[in-house]
Chains A and B, each alone.
Chain A
Amino acid sequence: MRHLRAASAVTLALSIAVAATGCGGGTTSGGSNESPKTLTYWASNQGPSIEADKKILTPELKKFEKETGIEVKLEVVPWADLLNRILAATTSGQGPDVLNIGNTWSASLQATGALLPWDDKNFEAIGGRDRFVDSAVASAGKEGEPPAAVPLYSLAYALYYNKKMFAEAGVEKPPATWDELVATGKRISKDGKWGLGAEGGNLSNNIHQTFVLGQQHGADFFGEDGRATFTSDGAVAAVKQYVDFMAKDKIIAPGNAEYAQNQSLTDFAKGRTAMVLWQAAASTFAAQGMKPEDWGAAPVPVPSGAPGTGKQVNSMVAGINMAVFKNSKNIDGAKKFVKFMTSDAEQKLLNKTYGSIPPVKAAQADAAFGAPDLKVLRDTLATSAAPLPQVPNESQFETAVGTAVKELWADAAAGRPVTEESVKARLEKAQQTMQQ
C-alpha cells in the first residue's frame, strides 16, 4: 500500500511537471536558416483530387529545386482537415515551413502570432506589394497590420446559368437584379425543375452569400470596434432575403437545405436547377459532362443597376493565400518559395490549371483569363468584391451565423414560417455565443 501511494505520488508529480513545463505549448521562436536545403509545404486540395494536385504541383516543385537547390516536401491536405491541422501545428510548433490557408481565416490565424507577417521588407523579398491586386491583399489579414499571408489563387462568385433551361422558359438574358432573379426563378420552378440552387448545410457558403447580401443592405456583421452586430436590421434583412428564396419565393428546392457536398452543382449539371451562385465552377461542370456552351456566367445580381462598390458589392473576395510559419528552420528558403509560386509564370500556369484568377496583376492580364466566365470573375474581383470581416474571431462568426442560417433552411424546408422575428432570434443566439 505504501508502495502504491508512493507510485501514485510520483505519477501525479511527473504529470503535473510535464504539463507545467515540457508541454507548455508551441514555440514563439522567430525562425532560422538551420536547414537551408529543405522545405515542407502543405498545399490545400484545389483540384478534383489529392492525387491530381500532386500531379500538378510536383513538376513545379522540381523546377524550384532546380533553380534553388531546395527540395520541397509536398503534402496536399483536404479542406476539411486543413484548419485543424494548422491549429495542431500552431499549438505544437511542429508545422510545415510554408502552407496554404483559406483567405477568410487570415485574421484568425494572424491572431495566433504563428505566421510570418508580410511587412514591406518581406514583400520586397517577393517583388513588392504592388504586384498584387489590392482586394486580394486586403483579404490576407487585419486592416492596418502587415498581412499574415500572400494571395496565391483568387476567386469570386458569379451567377452560373443553364442556357438550355433559360431558353425553354423563354428567358433571354441572365438576371441582373434580385427581383429579376426571383422572377426568372419562378418561371422555371415547376415540373421538378427549380430556379436556384443552394448549399444549406455548408456553413461557409451560407456565410459567403449572406455576407454579400448584408453588404447590399449596408450591414457588416461586425462593428468598427470588432464587436459582432449580427442582429442589425441589415443583417436580418440579408439572411431573410437569402432563406426566402426557398421559404417565400419557392425558387430553391427544399432538399437543398441539407446539401453540403456540392450537390447543387450536380443538380445544375443534370438540368434540375437553372442557376447557382458559385466560385469558378467551370471544371466541376466539365467533370459532370457539361460542355462550355451549355452554361453561361454573369455577375451575381445586385439590388439595382450594375455591380460596384458599397451597396452594389456582389461577391466576397474568395481565394487561397500562402503563409509561412514564423518558426520555420528555413525562413529565407520559404520566402524564395513564396516568390517562386507568386512569380508571373507560375501564377499563369497554376491559376489556369485550377480555374482561378491570379491575384498578381501582370499574370491577370494574360489572355487565358479572358474567357467569358473568367472575365466575370476577374471584373468582380477588381470592382465589386469585398473581403469578409478581417477580425480575429472570423472563424467563430462563420460557425455561429453559418449554423443559424442552416437551421433557418431547415425551418424553410419543413414548411415552418421564416419571419423577421425568427431570423432575428437565431442571429441573436449566434451573437451571444461569440466570446471575447
Chain B
Amino acid sequence: MTATVTTDPKVDKSTSRGTSRGTGGARGRLPRVPDRIRRGGLPYLLLLPAVLLELLIHIIPMVIGIVMSFRQLTQFFINNWGAAPWSGLDNYRIAVDIDAPIGEALLHSFFVTCVFTFFSVGLAWLLGTAAAILLQESFRGRGVLRTIFLVPYALPVYAAVITWAFMFQRDNGMINHVLHDQLGITDEPSFWLIGENSLYTLIIVSVWKGWPFAFLMLMAGLQNIPRELYEAASIDGAGIWQQIRRITLPSLRPVNQVLVLVLFLWTFNDFNTPFVLFGKSAPENADLISIHIYQSSFVTWNFGTGSAMSVLLLLFLLIVTAVYLFFTSRGRKGSDV
C-alpha cells in the first residue's frame, strides 16, 4: 500500500507543484492560470453566496438595529424611519437608568432571565446527561425510548407550548386536575399562568423543550468513549459513580462545552415559549428580556428604545460567550497536555 501511494499520479502532481514552485514549465504540472485562480479568487468565489446570505440575514439587520438605537423612532416616523431624529445615546440612557421605571423594568427582566436560564439550562443538561447515560446500555425497548425522548425536540414549538398553556389553566387544566382533584397535594387549584408560579411554569416548559437536544448531543458524545476504558476501570474496582465522574464526564467535556453554550444562548433569547404561554404581556415574575424588548418595540411602539435594549443584550451575550470560550478553551488546552 505504501508503494502505491508514492507512485500515485495525483500525489506526484501536488508534490511536484509544491516543490517546483517558480521553476516553471515542468511536465505534469498544473497550468499557471488555474493555479492563480485557485489561490487567489476561488475560495472567495465559493464563499460569496455564504457571505451574501450572512449579510442579508445577520449583518444588515444588525447594522439597521444599531442605527435605529440612536434614533428617536416612534409611530411618528415608522412610515419613513430614515427621517427619525437622531437621539444620540438617549435610548441607551433610558434603558440603563435603573432609577426610572423603564430601566428598572429592564433590569428586573434581566434578572428574571438569568434565573430562568440558570435553572432551564441546568435542568435540561442534567436530564439530558442522565437519559443519555441510562440509555447507553443495550436493552429491550431502548430504540423506542430514544425516539420518545426526542419527541419534544421534533414537535413544532407553537403546538407544543400552546398545549402546555392549556394544561396549566387554573380551572380546566390537567395539571391542577392531577395535583388538586386527584392527588390532593394542593389545598386549592393553583394559578400557573399568572402570579408567582409563572416562572416555574416557564422553566418546566423550557426544560421539557430543551433537554432532548442535550440528550441527543450527549448520546452522540458517549459513542466516542472507548468501552475498554470502562472495562479497565471496572477491573480496577471503580463503581458506576466513579466511572461517570472519572471517565464519562471528562470525555464528554468537549461536547458539553458547546452544548452548554448553545443551550445558554437559545434559552436566554427564548421568545416563543413565554410569548405563547403568556401573550404579549408576561406576568412580572416571568417577564423575560426577549418579551420585554418585544413589548418596548412592537407593543408600545418605541422602536428606538427597543433597539437600544437589543444592542445591550447582544453586547452582554457577546461578552459572556467570549469569557466562556476563553476560560473553557484554556481549560481544554490544559487538560490536553
Report A's interface with B, CB cutoff 8 A. Answer: 3, 7, 11, 14-16, 18-20, 23-28, 84, 87, 90-91, 93, 108-109, 111-114, 200-201, 203, 253-255, 257-258, 260, 392-393, 395-396, 399-400, 402-403, 406-407, 409-410, 413-414, 429, 432-433, 435-436
For the complex, give the distance between the alpha carbons of A18 and B52 in Å: 13
Among A24, A254, A399, A433, contact of B82 (Cβ-Cβ < 8 Å): A24
For the complex, give the distance between the alpha carbons of A114 and B80 in Å: 9
For the complex, give the distance between the alpha carbons of A436 and B102 in Å: 13
For the complex, give the distance between the alpha carbons of A401 and B191 in Å: 22
A110 to chain B minimum Cβ distance, whole angstroms, is: 9
Report B's interface with A, CB cutoff 8 A. Answer: 44, 51, 55, 59-60, 63-64, 67, 74-83, 94, 100-102, 105, 169-171, 189, 191, 193-196, 279-281, 283-284, 295, 298-302, 305
Among B105, B195, B300, contact of A410 (Cβ-Cβ < 8 Å): B195
Query: Which B residues touch A260, using CB under 8 A?
Result: 279
B157 to chain A minimum Cβ distance, whole angstroms, is: 16
User: Contact at B80–A26, with CB atoms within 8 Å?
Assistant: yes
User: Contact at B281–A402, with CB atoms within 8 Å?
Assistant: yes
B87 to chain A minimum Cβ distance, whole angstroms, is: 11
Query: Which B residues touch A20, using CB under 8 A?
Result: 67
A144 to chain B minimum Cβ distance, whole angstroms, is: 17
Q: Which of B51, B78, B170, B196 has the most CB of A within 10 A?
A: B78
Among A112, A255, A399, contact of B281 (Cβ-Cβ < 8 Å): A399
User: Contact at B301–A28, with CB atoms within 8 Å?
Assistant: no
For the complex, give the distance between the alpha carbons of A335 and B194 in Å: 45
Beyond A26-B80, A84-B298, A407-B283, 19 extra complex contacts between A and B, CB < 8 Å: A19-B60, A19-B63, A25-B82, A25-B83, A27-B79, A28-B79, A87-B301, A112-B75, A113-B76, A258-B194, A393-B75, A393-B301, A395-B299, A396-B299, A399-B299, A402-B281, A406-B281, A429-B101, A435-B74
Measured CB to CB, the nearest residue on chain B to A203 is: B281
Measured CB to CB, the nearest residue on chain B to A91 is: B78
User: Contact at B78–A90, with CB atoms within 8 Å?
Assistant: yes
User: Contact at A433–B55, with CB atoms within 8 Å?
Assistant: no
Given contacts A7-B44, A399-B299, A435-B74, contact A16 B63 (CB under 8 A): yes
A412 to chain B minimum Cβ distance, whole angstroms, is: 11
Among A114, A257, A403, A406, contact of B79 (Cβ-Cβ < 8 Å): A114
For the complex, give the distance between the alpha carbons of A432 and B99 in Å: 11
Among B55, B59, B79, B300, contact of A113 (Cβ-Cβ < 8 Å): B79
B196 to chain A minimum Cβ distance, whole angstroms, is: 8
User: Contact at B305–A435, with CB atoms within 8 Å?
Assistant: yes
B293 to chain A minimum Cβ distance, whole angstroms, is: 14
User: Contact at B82–A413, with CB atoms within 8 Å?
Assistant: no
Query: Which A residues touch B67, using CB under 8 A?
Result: 19-20
Query: Which A residues touch B191, using CB under 8 A?
Result: 257-258, 410, 413-414
For the complex, give the distance between the alpha carbons of A87 and B59 in Å: 23
Among A28, A91, A400, contact of B300 (Cβ-Cβ < 8 Å): A400
User: Contact at A406–B194, with CB atoms within 8 Å?
Assistant: yes
User: Contact at A201–B64, with CB atoms within 8 Å?
Assistant: no
Query: Which B residues touch A23, using CB under 8 A?
Result: 60, 64
Query: Which A residues touch B101, using CB under 8 A?
Result: 429, 432-433
For the complex, give the distance between the alpha carbons of A78 and B79 in Å: 23
B98 to chain A minimum Cβ distance, whole angstroms, is: 13
For the complex, give the distance between the alpha carbons of A393 and B102 in Å: 16
For the complex, give the distance between the alpha carbons of A395 and B303 in Å: 13
A87 to chain B minimum Cβ distance, whole angstroms, is: 7
User: Contact at B74–A436, with CB atoms within 8 Å?
Assistant: yes
Query: Which A residues touch B193, using CB under 8 A?
Result: 201, 258
User: Contact at A25–B194, with CB atoms within 8 Å?
Assistant: no
Among B80, B100, B170, B195, contact of A24 (Cβ-Cβ < 8 Å): B80
User: Contact at A111–B76, with CB atoms within 8 Å?
Assistant: yes
User: Contact at B81–A24, with CB atoms within 8 Å?
Assistant: yes
Among B81, B279, B302, contact of A91 (Cβ-Cβ < 8 Å): B81
User: Contact at B281–A403, with CB atoms within 8 Å?
Assistant: yes
For the complex, give the distance between the alpha carbons of A24 and B83 in Å: 8
User: Contact at A112–B78, with CB atoms within 8 Å?
Assistant: yes
Closest 6 CB pairs of A and B: A24-B82, A25-B81, A432-B101, A255-B171, A396-B300, A410-B194
User: Contact at B194–A413, with CB atoms within 8 Å?
Assistant: yes
Query: Which B residues touch A413, using CB under 8 A?
Result: 191, 194-195
Query: Which A residues touch B281, using CB under 8 A?
Result: 203, 399, 402-403, 406
Measured CB to CB, the nearest residue on chain B to A113 is: B79
Given contacts A26-B78, A91-B78, A111-B75, contact A258 B44 (CB under 8 A): no
B177 to chain A minimum Cβ distance, whole angstroms, is: 13
Query: Which B residues touch A201, using CB under 8 A?
Result: 193-194, 279
Return 16 A-B CB contacts under 8 Å, by A number. A19-B63, A25-B81, A26-B80, A27-B79, A27-B80, A28-B79, A87-B301, A91-B79, A112-B76, A399-B295, A402-B281, A407-B284, A410-B283, A432-B101, A435-B94, A436-B74
Among A3, A7, A25, A409, contact of B80 (Cβ-Cβ < 8 Å): A25
User: Contact at A257–B194, with CB atoms within 8 Å?
Assistant: yes
Query: Which B residues touch A11, using CB under 8 A?
Result: 51, 55, 59
For the complex, give the distance between the alpha carbons of A93 and B78 in Å: 10
Measured CB to CB, the nearest residue on chain A to B169 is: A258
B27 to chain A minimum Cβ distance, whole angstroms, is: 32
For the complex, give the distance between the alpha carbons of A407 and B198 in Å: 12
For the complex, give the distance between the alpha carbons of A15 and B57 in Å: 11
For the complex, give the distance between the alpha carbons of A260 and B67 in Å: 37
Q: Which of A16, A392, A410, A414 has the most CB of B within 10 A?
A: A410
Query: Which A residues touch B189, using CB under 8 A?
Result: 255
A149 to chain B minimum Cβ distance, whole angstroms, is: 15
Query: Which A residues touch B100, using CB under 8 A?
Result: 432
For the complex, give the distance between the alpha carbons of A201 and B295 in Å: 16
Query: Which A residues touch B60, using CB under 8 A?
Result: 15, 18-19, 23
B151 to chain A minimum Cβ distance, whole angstroms, is: 26
A5 to chain B minimum Cβ distance, whole angstroms, is: 13
Query: Which A residues touch B169, using CB under 8 A?
Result: 258
For the complex, give the distance between the alpha carbons of A4 and B78 in Å: 36
Measured CB to CB, the nearest residue on chain B to A430 is: B101
